[in-house]
Amino acid sequence: MSLRTPLGRALGLGSAGDGTAHWWQQRVTAVGLALLGLWFAVSMLGADLGDRAALVAWIGQPLNASLLVLLVLTAAWHSQLGTRVIAEDYVHGAMKVPLLIALQFIHAIAAAVGVLAVLQIAIGGR
């Protein structure tokens, strides 16, 4: 016994099959953000936030720079997933596709800028 409609069986249409993957990506990035955010918050508790040189030296440590890059990338990906769902659910008509494309570019640019900023500080010390 099939739960598909006769029209669905005839046209071969059904679930797109990517809903579960999107749901898992949101959950995994949320867990990653929680762990990375906790690491960042605990690290900043012990840091002298008024001393720029100390913060540059902290970012210059390979582990801290790597975790900061992961934090930036995870935050950008999680944000892109969430805003995509909002756009898909609440934007209709001719603006939907251009908005989805714009969201992809905005998040890619934000991730690139964040990663480059961390690398510039970690490598160049500026």
pLDDT tens for each residue of 8-46: 666 665 566 667 888 899 999 999 999 999 999 999 998
* Within a domain: 4: no
* Within a domain: 96: yes
Domain count, the chain: 1
At residue 2, does pLDDT exceed 90?
Answer: no
* Within a domain: 114: yes
Q: Which residue range forms the structural domain that includes residue 36?
A: 16-124
Proportion of the chain above pLDDT 70, given as a percent: 85
* Within a domain: 11: no
Instruction: List pLDDT tens digits, range 64-121.
Output: 999 999 999 999 999 999 999 999 999 999 999 999 999 999 999 999 999 999 999 9
* Within a domain: 89: yes
Q: Which two tokens stand for residue 60?
A: 């210059």
Report the CATH number that the domain containing residue 106 is assigned in CATH. 1.20.1300.10
CA distances, 3 to each of 8, 10, 16, 19 (Å):
10, 13, 16, 18
